[in-house]
Amino acid sequence: MSYMKALTEHDLRETLMICFQDRYLAAGSYMMVDNSGRPLYGRVKRIIDSFISKYRIQEQNLMFFGASKGGSIAINYAEEYAGSHLLLAVPQMNLPYYFNKPFFKDNLFKNSAIANLSQPQDKSAQLF
């Protein structure tokens, strides 16, 4: 993200960035559920689709980027846009590994809405 500080208005004149911050649950939810356990996927996808429609963006001009947990999130949404690009920096691919860590055990791991979703490693195999 520090690279973005050097970008100028000229660099971005034909660029639209949509950024999401995962502030759900105690340690984030990988943008899968909100604080009440309701699925986020459809709501986030509708936001993305509304910008695609409003600015007439072609799928081949879409790029999903994420680092670490954000990489897992980017994989989930990029799957919906077959012509898009995906740029990942050290994504978390095996979410049950993280869910079993002491920090997550009492929140993410117990959330069945998250545990039952397909995992980034499975989705990435389809994308690459």
**Domain coverage including residue 88:** 13-127
8 in any annotated domain: no
Task: Find the length of the chain.
Answer: 128
112 in any annotated domain: yes
Q: What are phi and psi of 121, to 5 degrees?
A: -65, -35
User: What is the count of structural domains for the chain?
Assistant: 1
76 in any annotated domain: yes
Helix, coil or strand: residue 70: helix
* Integer Cα distance of 24 and 30 in angstroms: 8
Which ranges of the chain have pLDDT less than 70? 1-3, 93-128
End-to-end CA gap in the chain: 25
Nearest residue to 16 (alpha-carbon basis) of 48, 38, 46, 39: 48
2 in any annotated domain: no
6 in any annotated domain: no
